[in-house]
Every structure is written in structure tokens, then in C-alpha cells.
Amino acid sequence: MDNVSGTSEESGPETGDDGGGTGTGTSTVEDGLVNAFGDLAALPVEVGERRPTCLRCRRPQKVCLCPFLPQQPLEVSTCLYVVQHPAEESRVLRTVPLLAACLPQGKCNVIVGRRFNEEKHPELAAVCRDSRTLILYPGPKSQNLEELVQYQDVGTVKHNVIIIDGTWSQAKNMFLKNSLFHLPKQVQLNRTLSSQYVIRTQPSNICLSTLECAAVALSILEQNDDIQEVLLRPLKALCSFQLQHGAQIHHSKEHLLKNGMYDKPMPKNKRKIKRMEKLVTDHNICPR
């Protein structure tokens, strides 16, 4: 989950008139630019053909992952609400479509945006105010999910689970700046599971993709470990296919730092340096 940053540089045409020419030279250049852009705008646009996409797994048909999906959607009582950062929509190797393909309609609801409020998102606001709703986000106030459901009978409580989908920095920003997300009970996963999503870089060895978080959470809430195995099957197939066709295994930043393999410039910001030091020294750290 790489952050994307962009810079823009303003540049203007150089009038370059050694004799000190002013308005006339500039006007000529500007007129030329207008005409040039006008000619470009008049050119016919060729619309490239998009590869046919599988309607279930949302993958191109030639690399369809439906053989690795369950034949029938998994029957679960838990309802997932994935609040997705807009940048995730354009990523090719997303895990949320695979998650949705494994679950019945209405059990995996994807809501895209950065800011959420009661006026624009009344349904989500109602879910956040529901006493049965949990938000999966690690932190000092989080309760271990397994401890929460340890003494519950299967099916007695039909939970809603909110999962934030984005890079770790995006997820943190969305959690902190949306007061609605502070209403549900905050939970985290305590299982030691290394991410199978090896074609994207995670901050630490215990950080998981959105699909993996959902798989573990559902297996705990439904008290059925088979759910985790079924949900991870298409993810493993996706990674295997990518690796067979030239993709490289992405080790976590924690792994790279501990093994002297981190080849990027170290940050100058003290807070970022301290956070990277924690990746090396704290075995239980996950970005907050």
C-alpha cells in the first residue's frame, strides 16, 4: 500500500527577446500556444478497448479468480462495512472485490470517501451508533476481538464490523478525522498471522491486508476457522499468479530494517525516525 505524492511546477514560456521586447513577443507566443492546444483539442480521441472483466471477482477474464472462490457465498451473520479511501478504487491489485465475491449480497458494504457525517451518510451513522457495531482499528483503547466474543454463543449477537481500507497513513487519518468512527467499540486482532499479501509492502510483519483482517475477524465472530481458509484462498492465488509473471515478493519495512536491506533514504523527521526504530525494537508494533 504505497502512498502517492505529486508535485507540480509552474513554468511559463520564455520571451527570450534579447533586445528587451515586451508585450508583442509575449502575445505572439501566447497566441501560438492557444492555437496549438486548439489543434490538439480537435484531434479525434481513440477509446481503447478495456479487457473483458469477470462480473464476480472483478478481475480481467483471462486471469479470473472465480475457481478459487467458494461455489456459494459463505453464510455469515456478521455484516461488514468497508470504508474505503478513494485512492484504493484505482489500484489494480485490490483485495476488497475478492472479499465481496465470497460473501452474500449485503454482507460486505463498501463506502468510498475520506470524510463521513450523519447528513451525507445517514446509514453509516446509524451503523456507528448501533451497540452491536465494532470498528477494527488497533490502538491503546482497543479490546482484543477474541476476548470480546469468548463467552458469546454463536449467533446470539449479529455484529456489524467497520474496516478502514487504505494505506496505514490513510487509515489513520480517516479514523482520527471522522468522529463517527469513535462511536463503536474499538477492537483489534491478537492472532499472530503473517500477511499472505506478499505483492504489496506492509509496515510490519503483523500488518494485514483488508481481506485478511476481514477473514480473521469473521472466523472469530462466527467461531468457524474454515471461513479464514476459504477467504484467503483467492488472495493466495492472486499473489501466486503475480509472482509467476514477474512480480517480486515485498518484504515488510520491519523485515527490511532488521535485516539491513532497507535501501531508501532514512527520514529526517524525528517522529518518523522514532516510528521506524519501533518497527525494529517492538515486536507487537503496528501503525497507530
Q: Say how far apart CA 254 and CA 203 lie, in whole Å.
A: 6
Mean pLDDT of 27-33: 49
The rounded distance, in Å, linking the Cα atoms of 98 and 69 is 8
C-alpha count within 13 angstroms, C-beta hemisphere, residue 57: 22
Query: How many helices (H) and strands (E) are present in the chain, helices listed first?
Result: 9, 6
* Any domain includes 5: no
The cell for 92 is: 489494480
pLDDT at 89: 82
**Is 89 a domain residue?**
yes
Residue 109 lies in a domain: yes
Q: How far is the C-alpha of 23 from the C-alpha of 67, rounded, in Å?
A: 68
Residue 283 DSSP code:
T
Question: ∠ CA(23), CA(26), CA(30), 5° rounding?
Answer: 135
Q: How many Cβ atoms sit within 10 Å of the Cβ of residue 139?
A: 12
Nine cell digits for residue 276? 521506524
Distance (Å, whole) CA 53 – CA 251: 30
**In angstroms, what CA-CA distances link 29 with 9, 33, 38, 157?**
20, 6, 14, 71
Q: Which three cell numbers stand for residue 119?
A: 447528513
Q: With respect to residue 69, please indicate whether it lies within any of the assigned structural domains.
A: no
Tell me, what's the pLDDT at 156? Answer: 76
Span 6-13, average pLDDT: 36
Q: Which three cell numbers stand for residue 2?
A: 504505497
Question: What residues make up the domain containing 135?
Answer: 75-250
Closest to 165 measured CA to CA, from 125, 123, 241, 108? 108
pLDDT score recorded for residue 284: 47
Domain tally, the chain: 1
270 in a structural domain = no
pLDDT at 272 (0 to 100): 57
CB of 252 closer than 8 Å to CB of 168? no
Classify residue 132: in a domain, yes or no: yes
Distance CA 227, CA 84 (A): 23
- pLDDT of amino acid 149: 87
Counting every residue, how long is the chain?
288
Lookup: cell for 81: 462495512
Q: How confident is residue 109, by pLDDT bands cut at 50, 70 and 90? A: very high
User: What confidence tens digit (pLDDT) does each residue in 37-75 have?
Assistant: 445 445 454 444 567 888 888 888 888 889 999 999 999
Look at residue 269 and tell me if it is in a domain: no
Within-domain flag for 149: yes
pLDDT band at 263, cuts 50/70/90? Answer: low
Of 44, 52, 48, 108, residue with least CA distance to 82: 108
Report, as an integer, the average pLDDT of 173-193. Answer: 91
User: How high is the pLDDT of residue 239?
Assistant: 81
Question: Taking residues 105-109, what's their average pLDDT?
Answer: 96
Q: Are 78 and 157 spatial neighbours (Cβ–Cβ below 8 Å)?
A: no
